[in-house]
Every structure is written in C-alpha cells, then in structure tokens.
Amino acid sequence: MGAVQRDHESIIGGVAVLGLSALLYSQVMPGQFDGVALARNPMTVPRFLLALFALGGAYLLVRGLVSRAGTTWPAVAWRKVLAIAVLAAAYFWAFDPIGFIPATLVLLPLAFLSLGYRNPLVIAAVTLITAPLLWYVFAEGFSIRPPGFGMDDLLRALGGM
Amino acid sequence: MDAFLHALGALADPLILLILLGGTAAGILIGAMPGLGSVLAITLALPLTFVMGPEPSIALLLGLYAGSVYGGSLSAILINTPGTPQAAATVLDGYPMMRQGKGDVALGWATVASTVGGVFSVAVLIVAAPMLARLGLEFGPVEYFALGIFALTCVVSVSRDDLAKGLLACLLGLLAATIGQDPLTGDVRLHFGNFNLMAGIALVPFLVGLFALSEVFWRVGEDVHPDDRPIGKTGFRLPPLRDMLSRWRVFGKSATIGTLIGTLPGVGATASSMVSYAEARRSSPNRANFGKGEPDGVIASETANNAVTGGALVPTLALGIPGDPITAVMLGALIIQGITPGPRLFVENGDLMAFIFLALLIVNLLLLGLGAIMCVLFARAIRAPEPVLMGLILVLLAIGTFSVNNNGFDLMVMLLAGLVGFGMRLLRFPLAPVVIGFVLGPMIEQSLRQGLLISRGDPVVFFSKPIALFFFVASALFLLWSGWRHWNERRDTRTEETDA
C-alpha cells in the first residue's frame, strides 16, 4: 500500500473514459446516416450516450486533478495477474483451432504452477481427469461437442488398432 | 375442479414424479454451470419430448425451467459467477456473504427465495392468468421505455460510493449494448470493421467476463498464500423462520415484481431480478448494507427471477405470446405435442392446464429439498486449493461460454470484458451498473425510437399514457429522494467532522 497525494483513481479513470470516447467517436460519427430522421437514425442513441460518456470522463479527470484527497492502491501481485492473463489469452485463442482437450492439458498445469501450486500428484491427477471428464459431460450429457480432438476420436483410433 | 383432480391423478404417477425430480435436478446442475442456461437446458430436452407424451414432456420441461433459473444462484454465490444471466443481481450480495463466511446462509436464502417466488407466481398463474395476460398487452413502446428508465434509476442506489463512476459504468454498458445490428432498421453500427461484432456483443461472454473472469484476475492478484484462503468452505443452512417472516415485505414485493414483469413479453427474468433488486435497495430498511452481503439483496433477486417462471407462462399459455426466449422454446415443445397455446387452451385443454399449474407448484417445492442437497455437493466441489480452483474455473468459463454459440470470438469478448472488469475494480468503478445498462439498453433504445416513430417525432407521447406517467413520476420521486438522502448524509458527515 502506498499513499499518494492526488486522486489518481479518478485521473486514470477519466483518461481511460476519454480515450475510449475518442475510439468510439470514429465509429459513431460516420456521415452515412446524416439527414435521417432521429427515430430512424441508428446513431441517435449511441451519439447521445457517447456525448454523456465523454462529458463524464472529463468531469472525472478534472475532479481528480483538482482534488487534494489522497488515495491508496490495493496491493496487487502483478506478476501472477500477468501470468494468468497471458495464459488465459493463449488458452482462449487455442481453444477452437487446437481443441479443448489438448489446450486444457497444457493450460491447467501451467496455471497451477504459475499460481504457486507445486503438488505434482494433484496437478497431474486434476489435469488428466478434468479435460476428458468435461469433454464427456459436454459431448454426451449436453450434446455439445467441444472443439478439436475428443474422446470419440481416441476411442475410434484405439478401435482401429 | 374435475380438471385439478385429473391433474392430481396424473401427478401421482411415479414416472411423472421421477421425471419432475430428474428434470429439476438436471436443471439446477445446468443452471449452476456458468455459460449454460435455461434455454440450453430446455433445448437439450426437446428431442426427448418427441418420444414422450404431453404430460411427461411438460413435467420435464417445467423441471428444467425452474431448476435452471434457481441453479444460476449457486455459482453466483459460491464463485461470483452467475450461472445464468438471471442470477446477475444475486452476485451483488450473495458473493459478499460468501466471502464473509456466510455462504451457507446465502444459499439458504436463495433457495427459500426461489421457492417463495416460484410458488407465488404459480398461485398468480392459477388465479389471474387471463387477467394478467391482458395487462401485459397494455404495454406498448411508451410503457416499456418508461419501465426501462425507472429500472435505470437503480444505478443511483448501486453507486453510493461514487455516483459519477456508477453513471459512467452504466453508460459503458449502454454503449456496449448498441454495438452490432440496430434493432429497428437492421443497419450495422459500431462494429470497428470486425465481422464478429456485426451481431453485437453476446450477453453470456460479456457477463461472465465482467464478473467471473475479472474475479479470477482479482483473486490471483490478491497474493494470498495458496492454502490460506478461508472461503470456499460452506454448506447449506436455512435461515430461521423468524428472519424469514421479518423480511416478508421483500419477499412479497419481489415476487409481485417478478410475476408482473414475467407477464410482459420480451423483458425476461434478468431485467426482472435487476428491477426487483433496485426496488429492494431503495426501500429495504437494510439498504445501507446492499452490495456488502445483505440477505435482502439475494432475496430480491432470487424471488423475482423464479417468480418470472409462472409469470412468463401467462402470455405463453393464454395468448400464445412467449414472454422470453425460454418460454419461446417451451411454446415450440407444446406445439410439438399438438397443443396450441392461446385463449382457447383454457377451454379445450383444461386438464392439461391444471396439470401445468400443479406440476410447476411441485417443481418449486422440490427446489427446497433438491437445492439443499445440490448446494452442499456444489459447495464441496469448490473446496479445492485456490490455484487449482482458479485454473478449473478458467476452463469451465471457457467451455461454458464457447458452447453457447460455438464461437471462439465469444472467448475473446470474455477476455476483454474480464480485463475491463479487473481495471474497473482497480479504479473502484462499480461493475453492477455496466450490466444494468447492458441488459436494459436494447429495450430502452428500441422502445424510445418506436415511440418516436409512432408519434412522428413528438416526445409528448411519452407523457400521455397513464402507465408510463406512473413510472416517470416514480423515477423522478426516487431521484429526488436519493438526492435528499445523499445531501443529509453529507451534512451529517460534515457535522461529525466538525464535532471531532
């Protein structure tokens, strides 16, 4: 925990809102709907909301700059957050093209280890049980086959041997 | 009376009872799994109904329907992940109770509230089905817009710590809801040139990312030793009868809100639980504790979302108009059975109607027993060490979200929503207003523009209908009252500081 002299939460929040507003501005202001009646114009509501959003962001920024009230940041284990965020992104990206089972077999041990869990037996057991079990529950129980190589492929391959 | 006796005879069949029990248990399980939901639960059962008679089919579907709506509360309370969108408001107080070590009581409140809401709505369904169906038809775009605005005022209540941040969070949700196809003209907007965004942002990945994935990031970032975390150990405890009776107002009001909103086509259980939560937050004697683990919050959300089950069946059965996507699927299932819902259903299929009423009543009573058992089982499953639990939740979130649309893009939406949610938590923005805006946004926009189209651009139309006027006046009064209360609180704080 570290005390700061300004309301940095509001300043960063205000800048983020204004940045997002700028990003949305390019989408909300195309001229293709100019001249269309308000009720028929698809941009009427987004433009109104964006104007309020940007005004709110500016207010937050000014409030943060003017305020003398200090604030405290919560202690965050950034390395762990970054590790799990990167792992999650890689897992979500690989989920469809590589397949549920292979992606999960890689993700789980890496996630456990990166979060500081070191029991190899539990890691192996949970990983080896979770992936096929969830695949089976979704594929057979809910009739939703997870993507990629599955237990049915495995059984077919074993049957063909 | 003959119809009810006939229905009782049918329900005494052990096979029907078994199907009710199995359907409800399966519904709870599916509802508790983040990403899956009531629509999926019922859709999965549709092929089975082809080979079943009308009564077993209806028993199965009703069990799945009520069970899945209730099941969403289990994961909402235990892992801060609403299993179904209907349980989004349950998270707000259910999970804080869990973190305070009162998870067992929160599950008890959720179970009792779901049962009360469900039973109340069935009673209303039996007594007032035709009348309520007609009231629902009174709602046009103007009334829907006014209802939406009234519901939005609850953002003021859920943003007590910082109103500006709460309003900005709500605007973010409203803006996110405008991405994709315009509901009125079909034009595509705010898609950033991305093909996947043309259909808009789906509710499930958005909700799951914002609440659940950001919770994973947050808990990982708290840097507690893997074996030190006390939460995750909970059971099931029914609240004392005295406590239940002392909260009868919240139960009654939430059940009424849920049933009434359920009768309105297109609004659904998610909006109903939000409106009910907002109403409880503004009127409960314990409103200062809302968002910090207040049982009234759990009661309001769970009573209302389960009360929708009976309410939504009113227009479905009486008029053939489904109140939400779930009842739309149920409507299809009834048609498969050769039953045509509509005003003549009550006359031509009186026995079947009585069967539906009584079966839904039994399902809601079963929730109490089955909920107690399944809460304990589900709670045990989350007693794993923290890193193992977080890894498993990540996998569950991914497979649950992916399975809704079989679309990898939904996972990216979930990731982005998770990162945004984490950032918002860090900067102390409340998350609830984002969801409120996102859920209510489409209804508000559509009804506003439809109202303007009908009146040829004249906004006076919004103040010319009695129901709409009632909601506008209620919204204005609430805002004034909130402002007055806020001013009083600030004055008291200043006085205390001066005295100190």
Q: Which ipTM was obtained for this model?
A: 0.92
Amino acid B333: pLDDT: 74
User: Is A12 in the same domain as A42?
Assistant: yes
Domain boundaries in chain B? 2-499
In this prediction, residues A138-146 reach a mean pLDDT of 81
Chain B, nearest residue to A76 by Cα = B221
B387 touches chain A (CB under 8 A): yes
Within a domain: residue A13?
yes
Query: Which candidate from B171, B192, B225 shows the least CB-CB separation from A49?
Result: B171
Nearest CA to CA, how far is A76 from chain B (Å)?
5
* Domain annotation covers residue A3: no
| Same domain membership, residue A156 and residue A95 | yes
pLDDT of residue A100: 93
A94 shares a domain with A53: no
- Shared-domain flag, residues A95 and A34: no
- Regions of chain B with pLDDT less than 50: 226-231
* Predicted pLDDT at B429: 92
| Length of chain B, in residues | 500
Q: Report d(CA A58, CA A60) in Å as an integer.
A: 5
Q: What is the mean pLDDT of chain A?
A: 87
- The answer, as to whether pTM is greater than 0.90, is no
Structure tokens at B147: 């209802």
The reply to whether A43 and A84 lie within a common domain is no
Task: State residue B113's pLDDT score.
Answer: 92
**Dihedrals φ, ψ of B388, to 5°?**
-65, -45
Phi-psi region of A99 (alpha: psi -120 to 50; beta: other; left: phi over 0): left
Query: Model confidence over A96-110: pLDDT tens digits?
Result: 999 999 999 999 999
A84 and A156 belong to one structural domain: yes
Residue A1 lies in a domain: no
Contact by Cβ (8 Å): B273, B90 = yes
pLDDT in tens, B375-428: 888 777 766 787 888 898 899 889 888 887 888 999 999 999 999 999 999 998
One domain for residues A92 and A119? yes
Q: Does residue A151 share a domain with residue A83?
A: yes
Q: What is the C-alpha end-to-end distance of chain A, expressed in Å? A: 61
pLDDT of residue A39: 85
Residue B10, min C-alpha distance to chain A (Å): 28
Q: Which of A40, A66, A92 lies at the terminal end of a domain, its last residue?
A: A66
| Type of residue found at B190 | L
Whether A44 is covered by a domain: the verdict is yes
Q: Give the separation between CA B177 and CA B323, rounded to whole angstroms.
A: 21
Number of structural domains (chain A) is: 2
Domain identity same for A152 and A86: yes
Do A16 and A37 lie in one domain? The reply is yes
**A147 in the same domain as A86:** yes
Q: Which of A28-32, A113-117, B420-424 has the lowest mean pLDDT?
A: A28-32
How much is the pLDDT for B224? 57
Q: Does A34 lie in the same domain as A84?
A: no
Full domain range(s) for residue A53? 8-66
Q: Which of A66, A88, A110 is the last residue of a domain?
A: A66
Q: What is the pLDDT of residue B228?
A: 46
Rounded-to-integer distance, Cα B495 and Cα A107, Å: 56
More confident: A49 or B264: A49
The answer for A 4-63 residues in CB contact with B (under 8 A) is: 9, 12-13, 16-17, 20, 24, 27-28, 33, 37-40, 42-46, 49-50, 52-53, 56-57, 59-60, 63
Is residue B133 within 8 Å of residue B453, measured between CB atoms? no
